[in-house]
Chains A and B, each alone.
Chain A
Amino acid sequence: MLLNIKNLHVSIGGKEILKGLNLGVNEGEIHAIMGPNGTGKSTLAAAITGREGYEITEGEIWYKGKNIVGMSPEDRANEGIFLSFQYPVEIPGVSIQNFMRTAVNSKREYQGLPPMSTVDFMKMMKEKQAMVEITEKLQNRFVNVQMAMLEPSLAILDETDSGLDIDALRIVAHGVNQLHNAENAFVVITHYQRLLDYIVPDFVHVMYDGRIVKTGGKNLALELEEKGYEWIKEL
């Protein structure tokens, strides 16, 4: 199993947000996590990626056979965990190329490889860009390029759709579908069924009050769209 989360409890500033969450993800799978606001979906993403301020009070996060609780965020990233943020973060004055090159070379350093030459890097960038763009329209998004360049084993999309219009959404989904293969897995956190029209999940999980309260196939997302979230509170 690629990711195996057991009885995860996470607190922020002493307040418990995740209250015994279990989740297993195999290579080759796409999982969707849905649920109302404030049920801990983003906290889960933060805990998996090791963000500071999210205190794991109980439980384990097994990834590629290692319990990664306590591992630094950059080491987790270099082990292949990728998070697509809800809102893109900007670093003024740093070009896409410069940022990407720093990231690629950091990963190479972690793997004990020498930094990439400028020529090789530009070539790789071009190839990967072509891989994820919608060719007929030359449309692309930086997050797709990042995923293509860093080749994560586990990519988490944390409500990436909330800031995107329908065209941008299609581009991101296109990238995910291009990159998805039998060796990697995607966890898509979303409020809406809409994104799941383009990224078809194998499993849909519903979160409520810090736990996964229901798991089903892709039809569960349709059911939620129709019935809303009220009924899951009874579960």
Chain B
Amino acid sequence: MRVAAKAENSRNYSQCDSLLLGDKCGAHTWPYVECGNESSILEHEATTSKISEDQLFYCQQRGIPTEKAIGLIVNGYAKDVLNKLPMEFAVEAQKLLSITLEGSVG
């Protein structure tokens, strides 16, 4: 994030949420802020969560196989962002997500 010197009263909020799949991964985020104007307000936030054993078993117990369950959970997680994308892109992003997830378990 870079705020130029002439950007009077500018405002920024960066959110960086990570969802971990499995126990062999981690997330490292470096929010980068460069502010050239004293009247600006900048905020950043980062969260990390993981798909819980409970969520996964809950889906499986309702007959949803593991891979499909992860797809459902990830799509739910990313829904807020996906909803803001233009239609064509949202469909693409959803497909992309499910392809990336294929074979990510087991």
- Residue numbers of A with Cβ under 8 A of B are 49, 51-52, 72-74, 77-78, 82-83, 85, 89-94, 98-99, 102-103, 106-107, 110, 146, 150
Contacts and interface: CB of A to CB of B under 8 A. Distances in A.
The range of chain B's interface size is 20 to 34
A94 B66 CA distance: 16
A78 B60 CA distance: 9
B58 A106 contact: no
B80 A93 contact: yes
Contacts of B62: 77, 99, 103, 106, 146, 150
Nearest to B78: A93
A93 B79 contact: yes
B64 A103 contact: yes
B61 A73 contact: yes
A99 B63 contact: no
B77 interface: yes
B75 A72 contact: no
A150 B63 contact: yes
B63 A91 contact: no
A175 to B, nearest CB: 16
A87 B75 CA distance: 23
Interface in B19-46: none
B57 interface: yes
Contact of B72 (A73, A77, A83, A99): A99
Contacts of B64: 74, 102-103, 106
A91 B61 contact: no
Given A74-B63, A78-B63, A106-B64, 16 more contacts: A73-B61, A74-B64, A74-B66, A77-B61, A89-B54, A92-B77, A93-B76, A94-B73, A94-B75, A94-B76, A98-B72, A102-B68, A102-B72, A106-B65, A146-B62, A150-B63
A83 B63 CA distance: 11
Contacts of A90: 55
A77 to B, nearest CB: 4
Contacts of B55: 89-91
Contacts of B63: 74, 77-78, 103, 106-107, 110, 150
A217 B59 CA distance: 34
A106 B64 CA distance: 6
A82 B72 contact: no
Contact of A92 (B54, B59, B68, B76): B76
B80 A89 contact: no
Contacts of A77: 60-63
Nearest to A104: B63
A94 B72 contact: yes
Contacts of B58: 85, 89, 91
A73 B64 CA distance: 9
Contacts of A85: 58
Contact of A91 (B60, B66, B68, B73): B73
Contacts of A72: 60, 65
> Which residue, of B62, B75, B78, has the highest number of chain A Cβ atoms within 10 A?
B62
Nearest to A84: B61
A28 B58 CA distance: 26
A110 B80 CA distance: 31
